[in-house]
Amino acid sequence: MAVSKSQSQDAIPVWSVDGSGNPSPAGTAADPEFHRSIGASTFATNQAASSISPAAATLIVAARAGRQSVLLSNVTGTQPVFFVASAATTGATTGFFLAGTAGASVVIATAAAIYATSPTAAQTVSYLENY
């Protein structure tokens, strides 16, 4: 049975059928619509050092309206880095963990500011933000 569905330019067509082989309504849990990101038109790169004071994390990437994501990499790579949402953290091991290995990386999809701290030595963190 052929099923047709109108598509927006960025929608990936997905169809499902019920137990009787009848098409299910689009956009439901049984027939979700998926959208692909075509990426942003601009990106920026830079580096910053993480704080060694768990009570005062360092700003790594400022907030940016419209940003899609930030790729963060541990450049120095001898100490773990913990990413947090504010400068006031509660301890050296609070936050999102990034391994103390050169090249360890994570992508965070946020427009919010990102701060970082390390337990005993500042680490150079490189970032690429997509906006």
Reported as a single tens digit per residue, the pLDDT across 42-57 is 999 999 999 888 778 8
Domain count, the chain: 2
- The CA–CA distances, whole Å, from 130 to 65, 67, 112 equal 11, 6, 13
Binned at pLDDT 50, 70 and 90, residue 87 comes out as confident
Look up the domain containing 59 and give its range: 43-130
Torsion of CA 55, 56, 60, 62, to 10 degrees: 120
Binned at pLDDT 50, 70 and 90, residue 4 comes out as very low
Q: 66 and 16, same structural domain?
A: no
Token representation of residue 65: 């309206």
For the whole model, what pTM was predicted?
0.69
Q: 55 and 81, same structural domain?
A: yes
The two beta strands, 43-49 and 81-84, are: unpaired
Quick check: 34 pLDDT over 70?
A: no
Quick check: 27 pLDDT over 50?
A: yes
Q: What is the CATH number of the domain that holds 115?
A: 2.60.120.770
Token representation of residue 94: 């609070």
Quick check: 129 pLDDT over 70?
A: yes
Q: 50 and 23, same structural domain?
A: no
Whose tokens are 């419209």? That residue is: 66
Q: 11 and 57, same structural domain?
A: no
Alpha helices in 39-129 (DSSP H): none
